[in-house]
Amino acid sequence: MPLRSDWSQRPCPIARGLETFGDPWSMMVLREIFFGNNRFTAIKERLQVADTVLSKRLAGLCEAGLLERRKYDGGQRSRLEYVLTEAGADALPIFNALTLWSEKHLNPPSDQAHMYLLHRDCGQRSNSAERCEHCGTELTARNTSWHSLTRSEQPIPLDLALAGTAQGSAA
Protein backbone atom coordinates (compact mmCIF):
# COMPACT_ATOMS: atom_id res chain seq x y z
CA MET A 1 0.00 0.00 0.00
CA PRO A 2 1.51 3.36 -1.04
CA LEU A 3 1.91 6.10 1.54
CA ARG A 4 -0.62 8.43 -0.18
CA SER A 5 -2.86 6.70 -2.72
CA ASP A 6 -4.23 9.90 -4.27
CA TRP A 7 -1.03 10.41 -6.33
CA SER A 8 -0.16 6.87 -7.37
CA GLN A 9 -2.14 6.84 -10.62
CA ARG A 10 -0.96 10.19 -11.96
CA PRO A 11 0.78 10.14 -15.36
CA CYS A 12 3.60 12.42 -14.15
CA PRO A 13 6.61 10.49 -12.75
CA ILE A 14 7.37 13.34 -10.33
CA ALA A 15 3.88 13.08 -8.85
CA ARG A 16 4.23 9.30 -8.52
CA GLY A 17 7.64 9.71 -6.89
CA LEU A 18 6.19 12.16 -4.41
CA GLU A 19 3.80 9.39 -3.42
CA THR A 20 6.74 7.76 -1.65
CA PHE A 21 9.30 10.51 -1.10
CA GLY A 22 7.03 13.51 -0.43
CA ASP A 23 6.62 12.85 3.28
CA PRO A 24 9.37 14.43 5.44
CA TRP A 25 9.21 11.68 8.09
CA SER A 26 9.68 8.99 5.44
CA MET A 27 12.70 10.83 4.08
CA MET A 28 14.18 11.17 7.57
CA VAL A 29 13.60 7.47 8.26
CA LEU A 30 15.36 6.55 5.01
CA ARG A 31 18.22 8.90 5.90
CA GLU A 32 18.66 7.01 9.18
CA ILE A 33 18.68 3.68 7.35
CA PHE A 34 21.36 5.00 4.98
CA PHE A 35 23.37 6.08 8.03
CA GLY A 36 23.20 2.52 9.38
CA ASN A 37 20.55 3.07 12.06
CA ASN A 38 18.40 0.16 11.04
CA ARG A 39 16.60 -0.73 14.25
CA PHE A 40 13.39 0.81 15.50
CA THR A 41 14.79 2.07 18.80
CA ALA A 42 17.86 3.66 17.19
CA ILE A 43 15.73 5.44 14.57
CA LYS A 44 13.23 6.59 17.19
CA GLU A 45 15.95 7.97 19.45
CA ARG A 46 17.75 9.80 16.64
CA LEU A 47 14.60 11.32 15.14
CA GLN A 48 12.76 11.91 18.42
CA VAL A 49 9.59 10.62 16.77
CA ALA A 50 6.50 8.96 18.24
CA ASP A 51 6.21 5.17 17.96
CA THR A 52 3.04 5.42 15.89
CA VAL A 53 4.59 7.83 13.38
CA LEU A 54 7.70 5.70 12.99
CA SER A 55 5.75 2.43 12.74
CA LYS A 56 3.52 3.87 10.04
CA ARG A 57 6.47 5.21 8.01
CA LEU A 58 8.46 1.97 8.28
CA ALA A 59 5.43 -0.07 7.20
CA GLY A 60 4.80 2.28 4.26
CA LEU A 61 8.43 2.17 3.14
CA CYS A 62 8.38 -1.63 3.30
CA GLU A 63 5.15 -1.75 1.30
CA ALA A 64 6.60 0.66 -1.24
CA GLY A 65 9.51 -1.77 -1.71
CA LEU A 66 12.23 0.55 -0.37
CA LEU A 67 12.92 -1.34 2.86
CA GLU A 68 12.95 -4.97 3.87
CA ARG A 69 12.37 -6.29 7.39
CA ARG A 70 14.92 -8.79 8.66
CA LYS A 71 14.87 -10.68 11.92
CA TYR A 72 17.81 -10.56 14.28
CA ASP A 73 18.37 -12.17 17.65
CA GLY A 74 17.39 -9.65 20.29
CA GLY A 75 18.10 -11.83 23.30
CA GLN A 76 14.84 -13.15 24.71
CA ARG A 77 12.99 -12.78 21.42
CA SER A 78 13.59 -12.10 17.76
CA ARG A 79 13.38 -8.48 16.71
CA LEU A 80 13.28 -6.70 13.36
CA GLU A 81 15.79 -4.51 11.62
CA TYR A 82 15.32 -2.66 8.36
CA VAL A 83 17.64 -2.74 5.36
CA LEU A 84 17.47 -1.08 1.98
CA THR A 85 16.18 -3.03 -0.98
CA GLU A 86 17.61 -2.38 -4.43
CA ALA A 87 14.87 0.22 -4.96
CA GLY A 88 15.76 1.86 -1.65
CA ALA A 89 19.47 1.94 -2.49
CA ASP A 90 18.60 3.48 -5.86
CA ALA A 91 17.17 6.46 -3.95
CA LEU A 92 20.69 7.56 -2.93
CA PRO A 93 20.99 10.21 -5.69
CA ILE A 94 17.79 11.85 -4.35
CA PHE A 95 19.34 12.19 -0.90
CA ASN A 96 22.67 13.29 -2.35
CA ALA A 97 20.92 15.94 -4.47
CA LEU A 98 18.96 17.26 -1.49
CA THR A 99 22.16 17.43 0.54
CA LEU A 100 24.07 19.26 -2.19
CA TRP A 101 21.21 21.68 -2.86
CA SER A 102 20.81 22.44 0.85
CA GLU A 103 24.54 22.98 1.29
CA LYS A 104 24.52 25.41 -1.63
CA HIS A 105 21.31 27.35 -1.00
CA LEU A 106 20.33 27.12 2.68
CA ASN A 107 22.12 28.65 5.62
CA PRO A 108 23.05 26.02 8.22
CA PRO A 109 21.98 26.66 11.83
CA SER A 110 25.59 26.17 13.00
CA ASP A 111 29.13 25.73 11.70
CA GLN A 112 28.84 21.99 12.39
CA ALA A 113 25.56 21.52 10.46
CA HIS A 114 27.15 20.40 7.20
CA MET A 115 27.18 17.11 5.37
CA TYR A 116 29.54 16.02 2.61
CA LEU A 117 29.44 13.22 0.06
CA LEU A 118 32.60 11.13 -0.18
CA HIS A 119 33.48 8.54 -2.81
CA ARG A 120 35.29 5.88 -0.78
CA ASP A 121 37.06 4.26 -3.74
CA CYS A 122 39.13 7.36 -4.54
CA GLY A 123 38.69 9.18 -1.23
CA GLN A 124 37.44 12.40 -2.81
CA ARG A 125 34.51 14.65 -1.91
CA SER A 126 31.86 14.99 -4.61
CA ASN A 127 29.57 17.87 -5.49
CA SER A 128 27.61 15.66 -7.85
CA ALA A 129 24.66 13.56 -6.70
CA GLU A 130 25.30 10.66 -9.07
CA ARG A 131 29.00 10.46 -10.03
CA CYS A 132 32.29 11.16 -8.35
CA GLU A 133 33.63 14.36 -9.87
CA HIS A 134 37.19 13.17 -9.39
CA CYS A 135 37.12 9.72 -11.06
CA GLY A 136 33.68 9.61 -12.75
CA THR A 137 32.47 6.47 -10.94
CA GLU A 138 28.77 6.17 -10.13
CA LEU A 139 28.06 6.92 -6.46
CA THR A 140 26.25 4.00 -4.83
CA ALA A 141 25.54 2.96 -1.25
CA ARG A 142 28.38 0.46 -1.61
CA ASN A 143 31.04 3.07 -2.42
CA THR A 144 29.78 6.27 -0.78
CA SER A 145 30.11 7.73 2.70
CA TRP A 146 28.29 10.69 4.19
CA HIS A 147 30.23 12.93 6.53
CA SER A 148 27.82 14.73 8.80
CA LEU A 149 29.79 16.89 11.18
CA THR A 150 26.95 16.83 13.72
CA ARG A 151 26.93 13.01 13.78
CA SER A 152 30.51 11.86 13.67
CA GLU A 153 34.09 13.02 13.31
CA GLN A 154 34.54 10.31 10.68
CA PRO A 155 32.54 9.69 7.49
CA ILE A 156 29.90 6.97 7.79
CA PRO A 157 29.87 4.32 5.03
CA LEU A 158 26.42 3.86 3.55
CA ASP A 159 26.83 0.16 2.82
CA LEU A 160 25.80 -0.47 6.44
CA ALA A 161 22.26 0.09 5.22
CA LEU A 162 22.61 -2.75 2.73
CA ALA A 163 24.38 -5.31 4.83
CA GLY A 164 22.00 -5.21 7.75
CA THR A 165 24.95 -5.31 10.12
CA ALA A 166 24.47 -1.95 11.80
CA GLN A 167 22.94 -1.92 15.22
CA GLY A 168 22.03 1.70 15.57
CA SER A 169 25.61 2.58 16.46
CA ALA A 170 26.01 5.25 13.79
CA ALA A 171 24.14 7.77 15.88
**Total domain count for the chain?**
1
- The string of pLDDT tens digits covering residues 74-95 is 667 778 899 999 999 999 999 9
pLDDT at 162 over 70: yes
> Containing H/E element for 24?
helix 24-34
| Domain presence at residue 159 | yes
110-119's contacts with Cβ under 8 Å and 24+ in sequence apart are 110/150, 112/149, 112/150, 113/149, 113/150, 114/148, 114/149, 115/146, 115/147, 115/148, 115/149, 116/146, 116/147, 116/155, 117/144, 117/145, 117/146, 118/144, 118/145, 118/146, 118/147, 118/155, 119/143, 119/144
| Domain presence at residue 5 | no
Reported pTM: 0.86
| Domain presence at residue 170 | no
* Integer Cα distance of 37 and 166 in angstroms: 6
| Domain presence at residue 8 | no
| Domain presence at residue 21 | yes
Greater pLDDT, 72 or 167: 72
| Domain presence at residue 129 | yes
| Domain presence at residue 127 | yes
- The string of pLDDT tens digits covering residues 10-26 is 678 888 788 888 899 99
**Mean pLDDT, to the nearest integer, of 134-156?**
95
- What pLDDT shows up at residue 17? 84
The parent domain of residue 39 ranges over 13-163
CATH number at residue 156: 1.10.10.10
| Domain presence at residue 17 | yes
Instruction: Say if residue 119 is exposed, middle or buried (CB neighbours under 10 Å; 0-12, 13-18, 19+).
Output: buried
Q: Choose among 1, 68, 71, 59: nearest CA to 25.
A: 59
